[in-house]
Amino acid sequence: MSLEPGCDPAATLWPLLDEAERSRADRFRFAADRDAYVAAHGLLRILLSRESGAAPNNLRLRVLASGKPGVDPSQDCGDLQFSLSHTRGMVACAVARTHDVGIDVERCDPALPALDMAQRLFAPAEIERLAALPPSQQNAMFYRLWTLKEAYTKAVGQGIALPLHGFSFCLDPVSIKFSSLVADNVHAWQFSEIVADPGYCLALAVRRPVADPMTLDAASMSLRACAAYAAKRG
């Protein structure tokens, strides 16, 4: 969901959030960051409602035993997995059944020192690939790799505990490789880069065998459409 200047997610999506989400939203210093948080959590609840049949404001979300956020098992919504991401101007959510899923969206900063950042965070093969590019192309490559890596860490649920230099991505087509630092199977994952608005980069990771191609239903949802659904189901 793109957040156009002047839009007010809180005006329509605030009632969908629970007390903990509203408290967290109120702690953001800048309105743009608060709006992105409210929009992301409101969109997530709408997507979960569409899949489970439960009203979006009745869904109870909590940290599961796995350490990942999820729907409270007592609500009997099936084995729904989800991930959400938000940055200034855009939010993204992914919902899957039975499969671990991770999504990341980033607003691309053209002034970012891409190669310097990569040397601190990326695997050697990724750094080498980035350094071989002309400086004018390094920024776009950095964000492609960064969103893929973030999507993977969200899907496995380890976050910053997972060494980012312990796995690397090849692009066009996208594939992952693991070093001895990360115990995982390259054939267990599928990835997708989703075209977002100019200036943004978005990637999806799904734990699903490569031999069983995933069906991806990706669509943009406007704030107006979210508001209409919320009014109908809230």
Closest Cα partner for 31 from 1, 62, 3, 51? Answer: 3
**Angstrom distance (rounded) from CA 171 to CA 180:** 21
- pLDDT of 79 reads 83
On whether both 63 and 112 belong to a single domain, the answer is no
On whether both 10 and 28 belong to a single domain, the answer is yes
**Angstrom distance (rounded) from CA 162 to CA 87:** 22
Are the C-beta atoms of residues 20 and 7 closer than 8 Å to each other? no
Helix (H) or strand (E) segment spanning residue 151:
helix 135-156
On whether both 113 and 73 belong to a single domain, the answer is no
On whether both 170 and 79 belong to a single domain, the answer is no
On whether both 20 and 66 belong to a single domain, the answer is yes
On whether both 6 and 86 belong to a single domain, the answer is yes
- pLDDT of 76 reads 80
On whether both 202 and 109 belong to a single domain, the answer is yes
Structural domains counted in the chain: 2
How many Cβ atoms sit within 10 Å of the Cβ of residue 38? 27
pLDDT tens across the length of the chain (234 residues): 777 666 687 778 888 999 999 999 999 999 889 989 999 999 999 999 988 888 888 898 888 777 788 888 888 877 888 999 999 889 999 999 889 999 999 999 999 999 999 999 999 999 999 999 999 999 999 999 999 999 999 999 877 778 999 999 999 899 999 999 999 999 999 999 988 788 999 999 999 999 998 888 877 777 777 777 777 765
Residue 125's domain is classified under what CATH number? Answer: 3.90.470.20
- pLDDT of 75 reads 82
Residues contacting 64, CB < 8 A, separation 6+: 70, 73
Expressed as residue numbers, the domain containing 82 is 1-98+215-234
**Could you tell me whether strands 69-71 and 167-170 are parallel, antiparallel, or unpaired per DSSP bridges?**
unpaired
On whether both 104 and 209 belong to a single domain, the answer is yes
Q: pTM here?
A: 0.91
